[in-house]
Structure 1
Amino acid sequence: METRVAVVTGGGSGIGAGVALALAGAGCRVGVLDRNEDGARSVVEEIRAAGGSAVAVGADVGVPESVERAVDEVTAALGPVGILVNNAGFARDSMVLDMPLEDWDAVVATHLRGSFLMLQATAPAMRSAGWGRIVNISSISALGDNNRANYVAAKAGVEGLTRAAALELAPYGITVNAIGPGVVNTAMTKVSAARAGRTLDEHLEAMRKSIPVGRVGTPYDIARAVLFFAAEDADYVTGQVLYVSGGPHG
């Protein structure tokens, strides 16, 4: 991957940070995008300290102008984008009948609209190169979850976008796949614990007991799957959703 430029959205923390570090470790030059630019800078500093090449860009992936500017900045600093990881996202949970419209719109805008806008902004360079890898981060919540209809709908939409774009982009040497993490210990896990009325440790233990392999996931688990989909010789795998969750789903 030493000739490739990768972009990771939501790369300033959690799964995104783990993915950015893994791609840099594999030799990619990495554009780390995040609304929290300080978080993105911290990840870039870690990449550079390890001898890698990276740039931090503050961006809101739900806003077309922000996406265009961010991709232009990465391209100017590192070169044309060949690998895109759509990871940016957050949760605003509530019962579907009580969900404010602004919470629905905000979650869908980042997860689904953001993935679409980033794909549109980066795929032309991949098409010109005759090679590209797009990995969308979904969730096992796409299969259904309580009190988060906006998140479930957005992630199910990401999986649909993955399959549709895979069909259209395959003739140009571009693969499009998705990863659906299960329970992964990140900052969002603290939010889930609070929603369940538990401490973080109590929540992680409860989740661990529900996972067949007997442990909670880490960003590294998701990053390893991204590296597989992004590999040079993964060109015969496209339009797929891989649930990385410690047990069977779907």
Structure 2
Amino acid sequence: MAEPAHERVLVTGGASGIGAAIADRCATAGYEVLVLDHQPSEHPHTIVDLTDPEATGAALESALAAGPITRLVNNVGAVFPAAVEDATLQEHQSAWELNVRTAVQCTTALIPSMRRAGFGRIVSISSRAALGKEARSAYAATKSALLGLTRVWALELGGHGITANAIGPGPIATPLFEEANPPGSPSTRAIVDNVPVGRMGTPQDVAHAVDFLLDSRSGFVTGQTLYVCGGMTVGSASV
């Protein structure tokens, strides 16, 4: 059953790839969707440079002026692939600003609305790379940070009816994946060959998992990481 249309959900980086699929799924579920991205979306959106804290703050203030937002998907992110000795400090800083600071800034901005409503859903898109992946120092560090934040937020906010969970996608067929993993390369082929279900994931696979965690009926699930990876984390993630 669809949720009431007046319930608003904010999706960062929701104009393309996984974010676009999440925005589509939220709209289908009956939510009023707002996308924050540097490019236009098919859904109501604000074009904003999320690497800029001041611009991000202004966009959040404008969004909240239109009414409370009680669901948040921290989706925006960038990879910055490089071996540890080749990754620059600027790349680490850029990854932190977009992948972590944006999530923290959006979450803290929306928490007052959630507290007043006595209800909230926070879903952060992490990655299977948080468990370890070559040439992903900056990316893995920031995606691991989202897992720690999710656990802290779950403990701090649970008494207010607010849940916080994370999704850890495996290899998902998106332009971002292809940019970091060139199609046809031996390393990319090895990734696909090692997926137990025998295929790449789709943005819709991730969106389906996000929809579950955003649902009002999922209030007893918090502080968790759901890996949407075709079974690739089996043997890697702790039970």
Query: TM-score w.r.t. structure 1 length?
Result: 0.87
CA contact (8 A) 1:204 1:216 kept: no
| Number of the residue aligned with 1:247 | 231
Instruction: Please give the alpha-carbon distance, in whole angstroms, between the structure 2 residues aligned to 1:205 and 1:33.
Output: 33
| Number of the residue aligned with 1:16 | 19
| Number of the residue aligned with 2:79 | 91
| Number of the residue aligned with 1:74 | 63
CA contact (8 A) 1:67 1:121 kept: no
| Number of the residue aligned with 2:217 | 233
What code does the residue aligned with 1:113 have?
R
- Candidates 130, 133, 151, aligned match of 2:118: 130
1:164-183 equivalent positions in 2, closer than 5 A = 164-183=152-171
| Number of the residue aligned with 1:139 | 127
Secondary structure of 2:85's partner?
helix
Task: Write out per-residue CA displacement over residues 58-99 of structure 1, whole angstroms, 9 at most, x where no aligned residue.
Answer: 22334332222222332344x211100000011111111121
What code does the residue aligned with 1:75 have?
L
- Candidates 27, 30, 38, aligned match of 2:30: 27
How far the C-alpha of 1:129 sits from its partner, in A, is 0.8
Instruction: Please give the alpha-carbon distance, in whole angstroms, between the structure 1 residues aligned to 2:171 and 2:16.
Output: 16
Instruction: Please give the alpha-carbon distance, in whole angstroms, between the structure 2 residues aligned to 1:34 and 1:116.
Output: 16
Task: Write out per-residue CA displacement over residues 26-67 of structure 1, whole angstroms, 9 at most, x where no aligned residue.
Answer: 00000011122x3x2xx22xxxxxxxxxx2112233433222
Secondary structure of 1:185's partner?
coil
CA contact (8 A) 2:194 2:232 kept: no
Deviates more, 1:172-181 or 1:183-192: 183-192
When residues 18 and 204 of structure 1 are mapped into structure 2, their CA distance, relative to the original with a 3 A threshold, is farther
- How many residue pairs get aligned? The number is 231
User: Percent same amino acid among aligned pairs?
Assistant: 41
Secondary structure of 1:96's partner?
coil
| Number of the residue aligned with 2:203 | 219
| Number of the residue aligned with 1:6 | 9
Instruction: Structure 1 unaligned segments of length 5 or more: list them.
Output: 45-54
What code does the residue aligned with 1:18 have?
A
The list of structure 1 runs, each at least 4 consecutive aligned residues, that deviate by more than 4 angstroms after superposition, is 202-206
CA contact (8 A) 2:129 2:140 kept: yes
Deviates more, 1:239-248 or 1:17-26: 239-248
Task: Write out per-residue CA displacement over residues 219-245 of structure 1, whole angstroms, 9 at most, x where no aligned residue.
Answer: 100001011100011111000001000
CA contact (8 A) 2:11 2:72 kept: yes
CA contact (8 A) 1:61 1:115 kept: no
| Number of the residue aligned with 1:189 | 177
Point out the structure with the larger helix share: 1
Instruction: Structure 2 unaligned segments of length 5 or more: list them.
Output: none
How far the C-alpha of 1:206 sits from its partner, in A, is 4.2
CA RMSD of aligned residues (A): 1.6
CA contact (8 A) 1:135 1:230 kept: yes
Query: TM-score w.r.t. structure 2 length?
Result: 0.91
How far the C-alpha of 1:148 sits from its partner, in A, is 1.4
